[in-house]
Every structure is written in C-alpha cells, then in structure tokens.
Chain A
Amino acid sequence: AQRVTQPEKLLSVFKGAPVELKCNYSYSGSPELFWYVQYSRQRLQLLLRHISRESIKGFTADLNKGETSFHLKKPFAQEEDSAMYYCALSRPGGSEKLVFGKGTKLTVNP
C-alpha cells in the first residue's frame, strides 16, 4: 500500500528563517502529491499541489521521483505560517481518495 511519511511531528523555527517540512512517500508509479494545511481553529485546506507548480503564500514544493519526496519549503517563515501541515498522495486507480501523512506541526517563533 502507498504510504506517506512526515518524519517530523514538530518543527520550530524563528521568524525570517528558512523552513522545510519533509514528506516522503512509498509508491513507484506517478502519484499526485499535495500539501494541506490546518491553521488554528480553521478547517483543513489545500495549500498546494505538485502539478500546479505554484508558489502559495511563499511556499513551494518540488516532486523528486528519484528520492520519492515532496518537501515543502519557504525561504523566510512568518508567524502566520504556524499551523499543522499534512502531505497527501493520490495514485491512479487507488482504492483511497487521498492518503495523508500524520502531519507536522510548525511553530514560527517571533
């Protein structure tokens, strides 16, 4: 079965520092990868998807098929980036809608 691993449960950085949230997946085909985010007292929402190749709120993520990774990066973290971040995967013909990692709680300190 496909699996999504987010190795860090907690990540703490200072405002203005670069941040990288790691995501590794186990699937040999061509999955679709996503980052979803949940801010405090808000609903889980899509942050970005790899096929869009967009930068959302300064965040980017590159799909590395060789390393089966989809790390989320931002060069200068802001306090409002503090949230729970979930990496998710969908595979063609898969039996699950989306497979989520267990999440990384990012705290950006002033």
Chain B
Amino acid sequence: KAGVTQTPRYLIKTRGQQVTLSCSPISGHRSVSWYQQTPGQGLQFLFEYFSETQRNKGNFPGRFSGRQFSNSRSEMNVSTLELGDSALYLCASSLDGAGANVLTFGAGSRLTVL
C-alpha cells in the first residue's frame, strides 16, 4: 500500500511569507502527527491530529498551525516565516489504540527560509 506522502518535497521562502505543507497518510491511519527536524534540536513534536481534531500540541508558537480533513489528509501552515523555521518537516501517520505510537514517516518537506 502507498506510504505517507508529503508535498512539496522542497521549497524556498523568504522571511515574512507563509507556507502550507501537505501530508497524505497511509490508508486507514486516522492519526497524523508533525515533527520539525533540525541539526541542532533534532526531532521536535509540533502537533497531532486525529479525526479532524488536534489531539496534542508541542511547544511551538502560534505561527505554526495545522488541520486535518475528513479523509485524514493533513496540512500544516507556518505564517510570518523566520530564518529559524528552516528545517525538515516530517509527517507521520499511525493507527489508534495499541499501534498509536508506531509511526510511519513521510520523506519530509524541506523548507528553506531566506
């Protein structure tokens, strides 16, 4: 079956702009979580969505937001981009229940902010 698909794979933005990243989970997975990966901080949890509701949220400013659609696809948005937002943004999907923490990751969206 198809894996987790993230689009776009690469993008370049300038400070102050906004960006929207998309994630299509594995069919049947209703949980989608987002992580920011940087060389200095490693993998940091952004948020998790389940059945169109934000279930958990990490310690990021309000400029970072997300949503989930009825087909479980998810988007995350970063407004008023800052240089420090340059990172690889990973999306992961999972089942609920016993498999909730067995994450299947996408390839990531690499954002560069100039």
Contact = CB atoms under 8 A, between A and B. Distances in A.
A98 interface: yes
Contacts of B102: 46, 49
Interface residues of A, number: 21
A96 B58 contact: yes
Interface in A62-110: 86, 88, 90, 94-103
A88 B56 CA distance: 17
A52 to B, nearest CB: 10
Q: Which of B33, B43, B45 gathers most chain A CB within 10 Å?
A: B43
Main secondary structure on B side of the interface with A: strand
Interface in A14-52: 32, 34, 36, 43-46, 49
Give the interface residue-count category, chain B.
Answer: 20 to 34
A94 B100 CA distance: 13
B29 to A, nearest CB: 13
Contacts of B57: 95
Nearest to A86: B43
Interface in B79-114: 90, 92, 100-108
Interface of B: 3, 33, 35, 41-43, 45, 48, 56-58, 90, 92, 100-108
18 contacts: A36-B103, A43-B106, A44-B90, A45-B105, A46-B102, A49-B102, A86-B42, A88-B101, A90-B101, A95-B56, A96-B45, A96-B58, A97-B45, A98-B33, A98-B101, A100-B35, A100-B42, A103-B42
